[in-house]
Chain A
Amino acid sequence: MSPQNSSPAGDVNAEAAALIEALHEAAQRLEELTAGEVDTVADRHGRMMLLRRAQDHMRHSEAAKQAAILNALPAHIALLDRQGVIVSVNETWQRFAKASVIQAPQYGIGLNYLDICDRAEGEGEGAAEAHQIAAGIRSVLNGELKHFSLEYPYHTPTEQCWFLLTVTPLRPDDHLTGVLAMHVDITERKRLEELYLQAQKLESLGTLAGGIAHDFNNILAAIRGNADLAAADLGANHIASESLAEIRKACERASELVRRLMAFGRPKGIQHRAVDLGAVVSEVLKLLRSTLPAGISLTKNFAKDTPHVLADAGQVHEVIVNLTTNAAYAIGPRAGSIVYRLESVRVSEEFARSIPGLNAGDYARLTVTDSGSGIDADSLGRIFDAFYTTKPVGEGTGLGLSMVHGTMRSRDGAITVENTLGKGASFALYFPAAQERAQAEQAAAPVQYDHAAGQRVLYVDDEEALVFLASRVLSRQGHQISGFTDPEKALEAFRAHPQDFDLVVTDLSMPQMSGLDLARGVLAVRPDIPVLMTTGYIRAEDEGNARAAGIRELILKPTTMDELGHVLDRLFRNSQPRG
């Protein structure tokens, strides 16, 4: 016996177990009948082979599946080994590499990705990001980071793109073999984020504008009212009367701007009604005039028989604003002109076929023609695409014309463009003619301005200048005014002598107490007294609340004291039969 054969007890047991297993196998083999040739004889060694072949088979099909998944992903994917060498890349990476940057054979396979990133240092923009990428991959490779991700800009010759890089460790058997670097194109998401931010900015600007407009309106009323008073005091022949008339004119223009600012701040719903296109265009041009360079002339050429159209005036506003700003941009700092032509057209079947979305029938056609630079052939095919813009970053969203296009299509209308490079562009908008006519904007009622003098008015507004002005104006008209800037004090005064007043005029929003609460307090004491509420901005719920509180009338804050005089006059007359 050689020394090696002197086995310890454990070895004897193991040998016995192996023998028992062999016997068991032999017994099983005896049971089996043989009926022909066999493929695999699996003795102990054979069983290992069987297992290994099975594992290979599975690994192969698994690898094929994984490769198929990686290739199907719309991301640029590279597998790097522990040194950062590119071991394998997916098809998206290959296409990207073919089209651009990595001018290396085999799409960069075999090169060290970390070296590539390190070398980018100092080669201009993008170097800082490349450095960050290399640092991130190193951190994952040496275990400092579990994952690494980075959003970075990437400049192609034609546009700026954004990518999101994620670096994930590969540990097939719990040992780090390398990392998977995946670059996903997030350009579209970034653009949407920017637009969303822009929209948020606009929204807050709208709220801000609405707020400023409200206060500004009060100030304007005071300026205008005092100018009126001064003009009345001095008489028409006074040397200052011309200046006062100018002040009044300036106030009117300012009021108009404020009205539009308030409209901008208001959230709008789309309402399709019969609209007089000419009136809407004129209104927009009035607003736009002050924002365009003085060198650009705006000319209207409206045919009288143009039909009214079914549209949302707000949307038409936006359409005209978009076309006009684009036209002004095309004209640039030179002198130029934008012509708005409105006419009635009958679209024939033949013509309708040539323009997508257009049907035969009666239309109002608005043509906006500018004397700008025109549109180059390359851009012409894309001008209605969303996000397409020729303006520098930050100046245009690329949404203007696509919105115009969308609006026109949704209205069963159409838009066409004619263009001469260097001589300007002409956009023709086709609006389907409405069957009915637009209702004329409610014109100011031609009230006979004949004061029912001697009325006693409780006037409440937190704006001191307005209370002061109203007191002076209404006193002159023969009324007796008790003016208050504090609604609580006003209510106190009213409760003390309720029979001393014929009418209450109150502002709606005041810091101490709302006009609604004041009105409720007043009407609780004297339900018969007419209460007039003024506000800079009427919301739908205000009307309901005012009615419920028993308020006789809710009106937009008069911009002139004359207007207030008219309203009071009407209220006094209506309330007289009651008295």
Chain B
Amino acid sequence: MYKFRLYVAGDALNSAQALANLAALCRAHLPDQHEIDVVDVFREPQRALADGIFLTPTLVKLAPLPTRRIVGTLSQTGVVLQALGLAAVAV
């Protein structure tokens, strides 16, 4: 099971795109084997700061280990898949 946490800045444009891209990516590559937790840094700023999130949107892959961070709209699918260790699956 892939566990993701996506830090977003309210409903700002790039954050919304990141969420849409992540959802599409999971549907295509990880059907029924993913969980997404969305954290709004405006609602939970202390949590974002404690987690060391200084840029939004930031995606954190929590499981499987190792954890990885990717910032941005997640529009560069190749970079994302590679970072998540899914490149082999995609190719």
Q: A35 to B56, Cβ gap below 8 A? A: no
**Alpha-carbon distance A46/B53, docked complex (angstroms):** 11
Q: B49 to A32, Cβ gap below 8 A? A: no
Report A-chain residues with C-beta under 8 Å of the C-beta of B30. none
Q: Which A18-44 residues sit within 8 Å CB-CB of chain B?
A: 25, 28-29, 31-43
Report A-chain residues with C-beta under 8 Å of the C-beta of B80. 33, 35
Q: A28 to B52, Cβ gap below 8 A? A: yes
Q: B56 to A38, Cβ gap below 8 A? A: yes
Interface string of B62-78 (1 = CB under 8 A from A): 00000011111111100
Given A36-B14, A36-B76, A42-B54, also A47-B49 (CB < 8 A): yes
Q: Which segment of A50-58, A179-187, A458-466, A528-536 sits at the interface?
A: A50-58
Pick the contact of A50: B45, B70, B74, B79 (CB < 8 A).
B45
**Alpha-carbon distance A50/B40, docked complex (angstroms):** 11
Q: A47 to B42, Cβ gap below 8 A? A: no
Q: Which B12-64 residues sit within 8 Å CB-CB of chain A?
A: 12-15, 17-18, 21, 41-45, 48-49, 52-58
Q: A54 to B70, Cβ gap below 8 A? A: no
**Alpha-carbon distance A40/B75, docked complex (angstroms):** 17
Instruction: Let me know if B85 is at the binding interface, CB within 8 A.
Output: no
Residues on A lying within 8 angstroms of B by beta carbon are: 25, 28-29, 31-43, 46-47, 50-51, 53-55, 57-58
Q: B43 to A39, Cβ gap below 8 A? A: no
Pick the contact of A41: B17, B54, B68, B73 (CB < 8 A).
B54
Q: A39 to B9, Cβ gap below 8 A? A: yes
Report B-chain residues with C-beta under 8 Å of the C-beta of A54. 41-45
Q: B54 to A53, Cβ gap below 8 A? A: no
Residues on B lying within 8 angstroms of A by beta carbon are: 8-10, 12-15, 17-18, 21, 41-45, 48-49, 52-58, 68-76, 79-80, 83
Report B-chain residues with C-beta under 8 Å of the C-beta of A47. 49, 54
* Shortest Cβ distance from B8 into A: residue: A39
Q: B13 to A39, Cβ gap below 8 A? A: yes
Task: Label chain B's interface by main secondary structure.
Answer: mixed
**Alpha-carbon distance A36/B13, docked complex (angstroms):** 12
Given A32-B71, A57-B10, A57-B43, also A39-B54 (CB < 8 A): no
Given A34-B70, A35-B72, also A53-B42 (CB < 8 A): yes
Beyond A36-B74, A53-B42, 20 extra complex contacts between A and B, CB < 8 Å: A25-B54, A28-B52, A32-B58, A32-B71, A33-B68, A33-B71, A36-B14, A36-B17, A38-B55, A38-B73, A39-B12, A39-B14, A40-B55, A41-B55, A42-B54, A50-B48, A54-B42, A54-B43, A55-B45, A57-B10
**Alpha-carbon distance A50/B58, docked complex (angstroms):** 14
Report A-chain residues with C-beta under 8 Å of the C-beta of B58. 32
**Alpha-carbon distance A35/B72, docked complex (angstroms):** 5
Report B-chain residues with C-beta under 8 Å of the C-beta of A51. 45, 49
Q: B54 to A37, Cβ gap below 8 A? A: no
Given A39-B57, A50-B45, also A33-B79 (CB < 8 A): yes
Q: B42 to A38, Cβ gap below 8 A? A: no
Residue pairs across A and B with Cβ atoms less than 8 A apart, 27 shown, are A29-B54, A33-B71, A33-B79, A33-B80, A34-B72, A35-B70, A35-B71, A35-B75, A35-B83, A36-B74, A37-B14, A37-B72, A37-B75, A38-B72, A39-B15, A40-B9, A40-B56, A41-B54, A42-B54, A42-B55, A43-B54, A47-B54, A50-B41, A51-B49, A54-B41, A57-B42, A57-B43
Interface centre among B10, B41, B54, B72 (most CB of A within 10 A): B54
Report B-chain residues with C-beta under 8 Å of the C-beta of A53. 42
**Alpha-carbon distance A102/B52, docked complex (angstroms):** 55
* Shortest Cβ distance from B84 into A: residue: A33
Closest CB in chain B relative to A32 CB, distance in Å = 4
Interface centre among A38, A51, A53 (most CB of B within 10 A): A38
Closest CB in chain A relative to B24 CB, distance in Å = 13
Report A-chain residues with C-beta under 8 Å of the C-beta of B9. 39-40
Given A51-B45, A54-B43, also A31-B69 (CB < 8 A): yes
**Alpha-carbon distance A315/B45, docked complex (angstroms):** 70
Report B-chain residues with C-beta under 8 Å of the C-beta of A33. 68-71, 79-80, 83
Report B-chain residues with C-beta under 8 Å of the C-beta of A46. 54
Closest CB in chain B relative to A22 CB, distance in Å = 12
* Shortest Cβ distance from B72 into A: residue: A36
Report A-chain residues with C-beta under 8 Å of the C-beta of B10. 57
